[in-house]
Amino acid sequence: MFLQVTVFLLLFLLPCCSSAYELQDTIHTLKEENLHLQYRLENLTLALRDLKQLLTEHSKGISTETHQTLEQELCLTKLHNAAYPTFIPMGFLILIPLIILIWKQMQQERSTQAADTRDLSEADEWADCRPEQRQPLDSGRLTPWMKLHAGLPLRELCSRMHVCVSIGLLPQMTSHLCLLILSGLAVSSQLGLEDVFFSPQDQTVREGEGVFFQCVSGESSPAANIGWLKDGKVVTRGRQIQGEFGGGQQKKTSGTLHLFNVTLEDDGFYVCVTHNPLLNISKRSKPAKLTVQGVPRRLRIIQGPNNITVAMGTKASMHCAVRGFPVPIVRWFKDGCLLTNCSVSFSLQNNGQLLTFSNVTKEEEGSYHCEASNQKETITSQAAFLLPAEMDWSFVQQPSNQTVKRGENMTITCRPPHSRPAAQVSWFKDNQLLSPTGHITVLHGGDLFFHSVQPNDSGSYFCRASNIHLQRFLTSRRASLTVLEPPSVRLWPQVLTVPVGTRVMLECQVSGHPSPSISWVKRGHSKQTGGRISMVQRNATLLIQSARSYDEGVYVCEASNTMGQSHSTAMLRVAVSPIIVTFKGQVSCSIGASVVLPCRAVGIQPVLYTWTRGGTRTQFPIMTPTEHRYIDEDGALHISRLQHSDAGEYYCTAENRAGRHQRRVILSITEQQHRLWACAAP
């Protein structure tokens, strides 16, 4: 233990007290930073108090099980020999360097700026060791700085710092205490991984046979794991076996890679990788070349070159994947010329099976094919064409304005710019992408064809040319399409019945191009406007403010333009409610006489007449007259052989679809005998 204390004193004192001048400078600096030091010492006092409590709690020693755990985690071979005698000196071993470490940490913080300019030739052996940091840091402000004399970079131990807490030995240790314990254990135990002891050897086998690669790691504590790489990639096929190598004090691991039924794809370089899981470091063996001698097979091209179109200045590749044995030589030809003799810039990979152009120009344009040959045969692929894409910046012919008659066939011309491959042409109408319909077709050359053009085809058109390989497009100028159309007239409503005094509107729906002129005529009469009758909305609507009976009739809307003329008619009926014009308000007749009560009305026909007596509705249909009473076609009520019971009030009602009108008559019966005509109105 004295030796361990001495080692730690040398470990911490020598780097920071190499000369009296440095010590004096340090003391002077500490005085200037008294407040900062006082804060650090207060934290140290708290840490020492916690440590004292921990030492008291564990004064009876540490269990063998705990030390076995430490031995497994940190590869310590002698820690379990004396648990209690070892723990107490280890406590002092922690206390002494702890004080020095904190003092050194403050000195380190003060000199951080100067240390940034120092030549850190061994920067890979320095690290920030913090329990919560599972991976080492290689840059930034690192505190504290430590270098282990056992030749083990501290960064490799940082990933195992959790051992201080996970085994439950010192659960309240700060990062400084954990650092000291781990450092002391690393000095006393030879953690590390030496170079590979035995590397795999080159081998040559036939296709279908099996092969074994052997590898032995260097000394490793803890034992190393062994993995395999082929051409830099992890080997996933075959069987991998590993175990202890030798015996006694040796700490080597042997590994075997067994590949069975090898194929030509297994040919390559194999490397054995040894890995120390505790330190997280690895070593690689020398590469071993596996040469697979294939079984003779006929050559065949499983993937030949394909036609390629790319933008100039970009990258292009062609494949010529060949299978067969002996392994063939692949050569490329352009337009029948061996590629190595042509003035093109190219590169070959994968034994010539991949042809790459890094910067395609017009010189690379042409027909390419590959040729595979070995000692027994030669085969040739199909030709593939490499086309550098390009497109000019102007149209060959742009659309122009068109005027056509309805129903005619017509074409709007659009000849796109010169392009390789041919440019794709799309059309737009009124700034909306035009989808071809039954009577609209985009021709192969880019023109837009209309079969039987319709009025709704009128609008503004332009075409757009694009080359998908260049990721750009050009837009033509706009062209207007005008469709000439003779007038078409529809008068609505065609039959209209309105009451007297109603406001009437007859709408004439007119289409055509150029816009037709509109006029109105009442059949059988001259057209008269002004007053109650007017035309609005460019003569498309005839307005009658207050309809009268004499407004009835047939109205004609006429439309005309340079393409022709058309008209439509509508019937207007004015519904006049009935007005009783022939009537007697009071009639006196003698008993036994006959009387006629007139009730003639004017108004639109038909007019229905009904008679009511004393509030009781009594109808006498003309078609079914009675012996003593009936109503004639003019609405008059005929009563014969009058009796006293016939006296009273009578109401005549005239009704049609426009309204109704009612009048009252009073019939008086006297005892005086009269002649048949002896009925008089007052």
Query: Burial letters for 176-202: b for 16+ Cβ neighbours within 10 Å, e otherwise?
Result: bbbbbbbbbbbbbbebbbbebbbbbee
In a domain, 57, yes or no: no
Give the amino acid at 487: P
Burial classification of residue 542, based on how many CB atoms lie within 10 Å of its CB (0-12 exposed, 13-18 middle, 19 or more buried): buried
Distance CA 163, CA 69 (A): 9
CB 458 within 8 A of CB 464: no
By C-alpha distance, which of 538, 477, 528 is closest to 508? 538
pLDDT digits (tens, 9 = 90+) for 535-572: 777 778 889 989 888 888 999 999 999 999 999 999 99
Q: Same structural domain for residues 593 and 563?
A: no
Q: Same structural domain for residues 429 and 471?
A: yes
- Residues in CB range of 255: below 8 A, 6 or more apart: 214, 215, 216, 217, 226, 228, 240, 241, 242, 272, 274
Distance CA 165, CA 175 (A): 10
State the helix-helix crossing angle for 2-16 and 83-110, rounded to 10 degrees: 0
Q: Where are the beta strands (DSSP E) in 335-471?
A: 337-338, 347-349, 354-357, 366-373, 378-380, 384-391, 402-405, 410-412, 419-420, 424-429, 432-433, 440-442, 448-450, 459-467
Q: Which among 447, 477, 507 is the end of a domain?
A: 477
State the helix-helix crossing angle for 20-32 and 34-57, rounded to 10 degrees: 100
pLDDT of residue 286: 95
In a domain, 623, yes or no: yes
Q: Same structural domain for residues 288 and 302?
A: no
State the helix-helix crossing angle for 83-110 and 64-74, rounded to 10 degrees: 50
Looking from the CA of 496 toward its CB, the CA atoms found within 13 Å total: 24
Residues of the chain with pLDDT under 70: 1-44, 47-190, 526-532, 615-625, 672-678, 680-682
Distance CA 279, CA 185 (A): 14
In a domain, 148, yes or no: no
Write the Ramachandran bin of 268: left for phi over 0, alpha for psi from -120 to 50, otherwise beta: left
* Residue range of the domain that includes 254: 203-293
Q: Which among 372, 390, 408 is the end of a domain?
A: 390
Q: Same structural domain for residues 454 and 539?
A: no
The residues with which 498 forms a beta bridge, in sequence order, are: 574
In a domain, 17, yes or no: no
- Residues in CB range of 96: below 8 A, 6 or more apart: 5, 8, 9
Looking from the CA of 184 toward its CB, the CA atoms found within 13 Å total: 27
Q: Does the predicted model carry a pTM greater than 0.75?
A: no
In a domain, 158, yes or no: no
The residues with which 534 forms a beta bridge, in sequence order, are: 543
Q: Same structural domain for residues 375 and 398?
A: no
Do the strands 659-670 and 648-656 form a parallel or antiparallel pair, or are they unpaired?
Answer: antiparallel
Q: Same structural domain for residues 411 and 363?
A: no
In a domain, 331, yes or no: yes
CB 339 within 8 A of CB 357: no
Distance CA 400, CA 209 (A): 77
CB 79 within 8 A of CB 71: yes
In a domain, 519, yes or no: yes
Pull the structure tokens for residue 34: 């008294």
Instruction: Count other Cβ atoms within 10 Å, centred on residue 121.
Output: 7
Q: Where residue 253 sits, what CATH number does that domain have?
A: 2.60.40.10
Q: Same structural domain for residues 610 and 531?
A: no
Do the strands 316-319 and 448-450 form a parallel or antiparallel pair, or are they unpaired?
Answer: unpaired
Dmax (CA) of the chain: 171
Q: Same structural domain for residues 489 and 568?
A: yes
Q: Same structural domain for residues 344 and 417?
A: no
List Cα–Cα distances, 409 to 401, 404, 453, in angstroms. 15, 8, 6
Number of domains in the chain: 5
Q: Same structural domain for residues 287 and 321?
A: no
In a domain, 380, yes or no: yes
Distance CA 218, CA 348 (A): 41
Q: Which among 415, 442, 477 is the end of a domain?
A: 477
pLDDT of residue 154: 42
pLDDT of residue 504: 92
pLDDT digits (tens, 9 = 90+) for 269-303: 999 999 999 889 999 999 999 999 888 889 999 99
Q: Same structural domain for residues 561 and 593?
A: no
Burial classification of residue 375, based on how many CB atoms lie within 10 Å of its CB (0-12 exposed, 13-18 middle, 19 or more buried): exposed
